[in-house]
């Protein structure tokens, strides 16, 4: 299931800006929403005041059946990877989520800090643990009495072929569940967000393969803006402001795109030299845009999310960008400069 602004069934988490969420039943929402406080976290409020946007500049830096496939999966390098097509024509019933915008529930992770990723070991998670970022899928034991956790060490790094980005994405499996004749996994994307799949649709990395992977530091920043989401969207998408925003990353640098689903994003240098090209792999109108690049053989992503408070009409612009290399500190500085430019233009 792909989430969108009208049908969001992914995670629902506390956001220090929006403060309040309420999930009705066990449905998960891709992005946090503005909800009324409730200790039971039941009843879904469909009033979404969310929008998201991405405009950015490529900053160069360097579930199926239980079987013995856990330690046998082969993983290719980013420059050699071949698509691993889904093996199932239908999605499992426990939640086929594609939630790359769930940046609060499952923020981006540096894989060299995998030991800091929370998981539930040796049992099914409680409903609360599927809301606080510890786990993903809640299976009611009263409704599925034969459900159990798969006996395997967690968290585990794996590759999962995304039909959206058309890449074998690096994911962190945080849950593996057997129910009836099915075995499914819940995972978080290394670059933020969450998803789930049949067990045999993920390819687990060996210790040797993990050791060869570089660190994955991501820039994750935000800024408060005294403006409505529509105004911020205009600033980000209009070519009028492209060069003003691009100056945060270099003189005469700017971004050009039609901002359509599956469209292209061009990073250019005035008067029109194309530096690199990305693909819009997720776009939910007035909600979320994600652009994926391959930079020097490595997968690079940029995600932007805008949250608007319906009472104050103050918005929070959130970005996730990376992974970066030794230039991480410089890129973080550039992104914060970019955020301040967006803020200044939006508040005029």
Q: Which residue has the tokens 């969420």?
A: 21
In the chain, what's the furthest Cα-to-Cα distance? Answer: 64
The DSSP code for 253 is E
Q: What confidence tier does 212 reach under pLDDT thresholds 50, 70, 90?
A: very high
- pLDDT at residue 250, rounded to an integer: 92
Q: What confidence tier does 246 reach under pLDDT thresholds 50, 70, 90?
A: very high
For the chain, the residue count is 348
Q: Which residues pair with 254 in a beta bridge?
A: 268
Asked if 46 contacts 29 with a C-beta cutoff of 8 angstroms, the reply is: no
The domain ranges of the chain are 63-212, 219-346
Tell me which of 137-141, 281-285, 340-344 is least confident: 281-285
- pLDDT at residue 109, rounded to an integer: 98
Asked if 306 contacts 51 with a C-beta cutoff of 8 angstroms, the reply is: yes
- Kindly report, residue by residue over 110-132, the tens digit of the pLDDT: 999 999 999 999 999 999 999 99
pTM of the model: 0.78
From the CA atom positions of the chain, what is the Rg in Å? 20
Closest listed residue to residue 136, CA positions, set 36, 237, 288, 29:
29
- pLDDT at residue 91, rounded to an integer: 55
Distances (CA, A) of 247 to 54, 61, 242: 17, 19, 9
* Average pLDDT over all residues of the chain: 77
Distance, CA of 27 to CA of 329 (rounded, Å)? 38
Q: b/e string for 95-117 if b means 16 or more Cβ within 10 A? A: bbbbbbbbbbbbbbbebeeeeeb
Q: What confidence tier does 282 reach under pLDDT thresholds 50, 70, 90?
A: confident
Tell me which of 67-81, 145-159, 169-183 is least confident: 67-81
- Kindly report, residue by residue over 44-55, the tens digit of the pLDDT: 222 222 222 333
Q: Which residues pair with 266 in a beta bridge?
A: 256, 277
- pLDDT at residue 95, rounded to an integer: 56
- pLDDT at residue 167, rounded to an integer: 85
**219-346: CATH topology:** Alpha-D-Glucose-1,6-Bisphosphate; Chain A, domain 4 (3.30.530)
Q: What confidence tier does 57 reach under pLDDT thresholds 50, 70, 90?
A: very low
Give yes or no for residue 234 having a pLDDT over 80. yes
Distance, CA of 342 to CA of 348 (rounded, Å)? 10
């Amino acid at each position: 299931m792909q989430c969108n602004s009208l049908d969001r069934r992914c995670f629902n988490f506390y956001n220090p800006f929006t403060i309040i969420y309420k999930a009705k039943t066990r449905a998960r929402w891709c992005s946090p929403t503005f909800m009324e406080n409730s200790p039971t976290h039941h009843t879904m409020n469909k009033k979404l005041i969310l929008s998201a946007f991405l405009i950015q500049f490529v900053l160069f830096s360097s579930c199926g059946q239980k079987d013995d496939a856990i330690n046998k999966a082969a993983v290719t390098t980013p420059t050699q990877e071949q698509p691993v097509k889904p093996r199932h024509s239908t999605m499992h019933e426990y939640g086929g989520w594609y939630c790359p915008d769930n940046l609060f529930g499952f923020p981006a992770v540096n894989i060299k800090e995998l030991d800091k990723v929370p998981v539930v070991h040796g049992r099914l998670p409680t409903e609360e643990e599927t809301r606080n970022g510890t786990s993903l899928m809640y299976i009611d034991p009263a409704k599925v009495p034969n459900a159990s956790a798969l006996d395997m060490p967690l968290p585990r790094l794996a590759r999962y072929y995304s039909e959206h980005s058309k890449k074998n994405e690096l994911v962190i499996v945080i849950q593996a569940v057997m129910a009836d004749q099915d075995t499914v996994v819940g995972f978080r994307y290394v670059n933020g967000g969450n998803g789930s799949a049949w067990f045999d649709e993920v390819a687990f990395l060996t210790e040797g393969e993990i050791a060869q992977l570089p660190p994955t530091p991501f820039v994750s920043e935000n800024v408060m803006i005294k403006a409505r989401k529509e105004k911020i969207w205009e600033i980000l998408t209009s070519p009028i402001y492209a060069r003003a925003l691009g100056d945060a990353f270099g003189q005469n640098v700017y971004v050009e795109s039609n901002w359509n689903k599956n469209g292209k994003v061009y990073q250019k240098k005035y008067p029109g030299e194309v530096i690199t090209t990305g693909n819009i792999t997720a776009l939910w109108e007035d909600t979320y845009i994600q652009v994926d690049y391959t930079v020097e053989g490595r997968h690079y992503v940029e995600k932007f999310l805008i949250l608007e408070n319906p009472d104050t009409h103050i918005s929070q612009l959130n970005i996730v960008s990376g992974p970066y290399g030794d230039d991480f500190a410089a890129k973080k500085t550039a992104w914060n400069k970019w955020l301040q430019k967006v803020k200044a233009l939006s508040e005029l």
